[in-house]
Amino acid sequence: MMVGFRGALTPEILDDWRQHQYGGLLVVNENANPDPAGYIQQLRGLSRHRLLAATDQEGGSVCLDLAPVPCEVGAREVAGGGAAAVDGEMSRMSAALKAQGFDVNLSPVADVWSGGNPFMRDRSYGMDPAQVAADVTAAVDGVHAAGLLSAAKHFPGHGAADGNSHYLLPTVTEDAATLEARDWPPFRAAAAAGADFMMVAHLNVPALDPSQPTSLSPAVMKAVRERIGFKGVIISDDLQMVGLTSQVPAPEGAVRFLIAGGDMVIVAHDPSVYQATWLAIKQAVDEGRLPRQRLDEAVQHLLALRPTQ
């Protein structure tokens, strides 16, 4: 589990971390502390295993508001400078994150914008799959050059969705052939470049699974492994987003994500929600609903991540 909380690092939060030993810390602007380096180290000192500290530093509109970490231009703008510009920008931002104690930059965005709903327009490197694939490769290289882990997002492709999954469950109406030809080349490029995580979005994509969101779908997880060729950690988008919670509560979503083949869940904001999620996962294992072998497989994917500290 990768979790985040609002406000100060209280004694209650510290006690909870001692007990539950979460695998990751997510820091975003809604829950950022003025001194993330300090509390990353505090929580790392409580951990009996590797703790992955992460944020989203894409550039443009998606940046951590922290003075020592530059927020450079967004993907759409930097793409005009070619792959070298993408690599350099991502390397500079990621190096500043590493100096603050972070392990993971949850970038790059690998979505190909369709020209429709504007939500992903500025966060995408463009509308041409080959060009976006080249820029995603450069971005992964830039994150790695800074010594951080990278995460390609948001599979199976948010660029043609009809809305923002923070506020609803968006629909992608394209057929499977279009998804494979237009949306998936950048994800294949990310996998080939050694991206460490692949983030699965909360989307309704009937061509892949007509019955449930992509983040709960075994068919989508199978596509990540077999059609994309990704060997690393499959991570969820935030389980507190309305794209998921409009369908199932976060704790149940976490269990179904892991059963489907995912490896790590994000619960971004509230201790009460991530504590309930921890208990739901434990109960699912105890009852045999989530096979222990599946949980162990997920942990092995995390243990195989390259070192950063």
Amino acid (1-letter code) at residue 81: G
Please spell the DSSP secondary structure of 79-142, one letter per residue. GGG-HHHHHHHHHHHHHHHHHTT--EE---B-PPP-SSSGGGTTTSS-S-HHHHHHHHHHHHHH
Q: Which of 237, 238, 263, 301 is catalytic?
A: 237
In 168-207, alpha helices (H): 176-178, 185-192
Contact 238, 27 (CB under 8 A): no
Contact 169, 204 (CB under 8 A): yes
The whole-angstrom separation of Cα 219 and Cα 283 is: 24
SS3 (DSSP) at 303? helix
Query: Known catalytic residue: 16?
Result: no
Q: Which of 20, 166, 269, 270 is catalytic?
A: 166
Taking Cα atoms as reference points, which of 272, 275, 278, 225 lies closest to residue 255?
278
Query: Known catalytic residue: 166?
Result: yes
Q: Indicate which residues carry an active-site annotation.
A: 166, 237
